[in-house]
Copies of this chain bind each other. A is one copy, B any other.
Amino acid sequence: MKRTPLTIEWSLLGLIHQQPMHGYELHQRLSNAEGLGLVWRLKQSQLYALLSRLEARGYLSATLESQEPRPPRKVFSLTTSGRDAFLEWVQSPVSRGRDFRMEFLAKLYFAHLEGKTTVQHLLERQREACQNWKAAQEAEADTSREAAPYQWLVYQFRIGQMQAMLDWLDTCEQTLFNLTPEDRENEPS
């Protein structure tokens, strides 16, 4: 019954982590591309449904704020368990390539708000994960080299996507910290 939230829900938790908010405000922040709007697109109706679910699962608690004569605002805050879960999420890399496009971009956004060390740690761990995954695909590709051209192409595709992600992780580091690639090699930790 109480399963882990899925990708968009984490972003909602992340926004509320910055500051308690009601549904309408969340919707505006997501829509008015302050960055995140590029990644998520969410209908109001779905938003309210997600918030109810997160409340039911104990990640959020709500207080009503009367606004006569408008409908009262339902202001959500993170519970302790919600905050813990979010902080855990924001620091852990995504494990499958297909989760990169939306979920990792969201993590990066929030990790950046958490501070320099959090982003750097996330980037480092994600790089490792991608490298492992890429290596596994390369091993598979080798076994199908001449025998099965279609399969080989599928692996090549995945490897290419992974390599692009790895390159992009470097770009992130350089952009967010104004580092050159040499800096990263010479000053690890």
B175 and A38 within 8 A (CB) = no
Given known pairs A35-B148, A149-B176, the reply for A160 and B164 (CB within 8 Å) is: yes
Contact with B along A21-50 (1 / 0, CB 8 A): 000000000000101001100000000000
A178 to chain B, nearest CB (A): 10
Contact with B along A151-187 (1 / 0, CB 8 A): 1111111001101110110011001100000000000
CB-CB < 8 A to A154: which residues of B?
A: 35, 38-39, 105
Given known pairs A160-B167, A164-B164, the reply for A153 and B108 (CB within 8 Å) is: yes
Interface residues on A, range: 20 to 34
Would you give 13 A-B contacts (Cβ < 8 Å), ordered by A? A98-B101, A101-B157, A101-B161, A105-B157, A108-B150, A109-B150, A112-B150, A153-B171, A153-B175, A157-B165, A157-B168, A160-B167, A160-B171
Chain A residues in the interface with B (C-beta under 8 A): 33, 35, 38-39, 98, 101, 105, 108-109, 112, 148-157, 160-161, 163-165, 167-168, 171-172, 175-176
The 6 closest A-B pairs by CB, nearest first: A164-B164, A35-B150, A160-B164, A160-B168, A38-B154, A157-B168
Given contacts A149-B175, A156-B171, A164-B164, 10 further A-B contacts (CB under 8 A): A35-B148, A35-B150, A38-B154, A38-B155, A101-B161, A105-B154, A108-B153, A153-B175, A160-B164, A161-B161
